[in-house]
A and B are shown apart, each in its own frame.
Chain A
C-alpha cells in the first residue's frame, strides 16, 4: 500500500458523460500528479498541483480539468467523454519536487 488512495477503482460510463476521479495523497505530501495510461502506452502526464496551486500542465485536453483542495486531496474531472478517453488514470503524490512519487492503484475508466 503506497498510502495514495484513488476512488473509484473502476468506472464505466457512456460517451458524452462527465466523471470525477478522486485522489487522496499520502499524509504530508504536498505535490499531486495525474497521469493517463492507455493500453500498452506509457504514463502521459496530465497536470501537477503543489499545496493547492497548479504548477505544471501536460497535454491535458480542454475537456479535462482538475483541482487540489485545502485538505490536499485532488479531483480530476473528465467531461464530454469519448471512447478514446478509456484508460487507466493514476494519481501520484510526493513531498515535493525531486522526491519519490508514490502512485495510487489507479482508476480504470471505460467509456462505452
Chain B
C-alpha cells in the first residue's frame, strides 16, 4: 500500500520568512496530492492540492510542487504569518480505482515566531 513520508516533523521560522515542507510517496499510481492544515483543537482542512498532470500550483502565499519521477512533493509558504502556525499534513491518493485510501504523512508542526 501507499506510504507517505513527511519532513521535517517540526519547523520554526521567523515571521516573514518562507517555510518548506517535503513529502515522498511510494505508490507510483498515486495521482492526487492534497495538503491539510490542522489548527489546535480543530479539524484538518484542505489548503491546496495538486494532481499528477501538473507540476506546480499556487494560491496566494501557498504553492505546491510535484516531481512524479522522484515521487516527492513539497509545500511552500512564503511571507509567513503567526496565523500560519499549525500542523500541516501531506497526503497521497490513487484516485482512479476508488479502492485505495487517502494516506497521510505524520505531519509537520510549523511555528511562526513574531
Contacts and interface: CB of A to CB of B under 8 A. Distances in A.
A98 B101 contact: no
Contact of A56 (B36, B49, B100): B100
Interface residues of A, number: 27
B61 interface: no
B11 interface: no
A100 B107 contact: no
B102 A33 contact: yes
A43 B95 contact: no
B104 A98 contact: no
Interface-centre pick from A48, A56, A96, A104 (highest chain B CB count, 10 A): A56
Interface of A: 2, 31, 33, 35, 41-43, 45, 48, 50, 55-56, 58, 90, 92, 94, 96-106
